Amino acid sequence: MAHTTINGKYYADTGFLNSLMGIPGVSLEHMGWGEFYANTPHGRVEFDSMRGVSIPNQSGRSYRVYDKDDFSNPATQWLFGQMESRGQSVRVAASTEDDLRKRIIRLAYTRPDLREHLIPLVEE
């Protein structure tokens, strides 16, 4: 079970969703097509599988997580805090674009046969 924050946006995996039922006052509802929402004491939190990103140690799908009605995400922050404090999910560091750029450069250095394909990806 993992969750992360990337550029101020929240993400969690399927294991995170499956563990929500252990938190008092939280109920998880299925909306269909792999989409879910959780009712919390602090408001409704939505889980959007269409906008998920790959996160380290991911279990199942990744979901973009956000508050239904409040873009400052107090309910999402509360939910992440509850999961962490109960040991039900682990906050992981996500790769940034800069990390990806460094990885591509390293790969181009170690694999000269791929350089012509990789260098255009990192040129500005």
pLDDT, tens digit, 9 for 90 and up, residues 21-43: 889 999 999 998 889 999 999 99
Amino acid identity of residue 42, one-letter, is H
Average pLDDT score over residue span 102-112: 82
Query: Is the pLDDT reported for residue 120 higher than 70?
Result: yes
> Residue 110: which residues within 8 A CB-CB, separation 6 or more?
none
Q: Give the whole-number percent of the chain exceeding pLDDT 70.
A: 94
Tens-digit pLDDT profile for residues 39-90: 999 999 999 999 888 887 788 999 999 998 888 899 999 999 999 999 988 8
At 97 the pLDDT is 62
Enter the pTM of the model.
0.73
- According to DSSP, the β-strands at 35-40 and 27-32 are antiparallel
Higher-scoring residue by pLDDT: 20, 123: 20
At 99 the pLDDT is 64
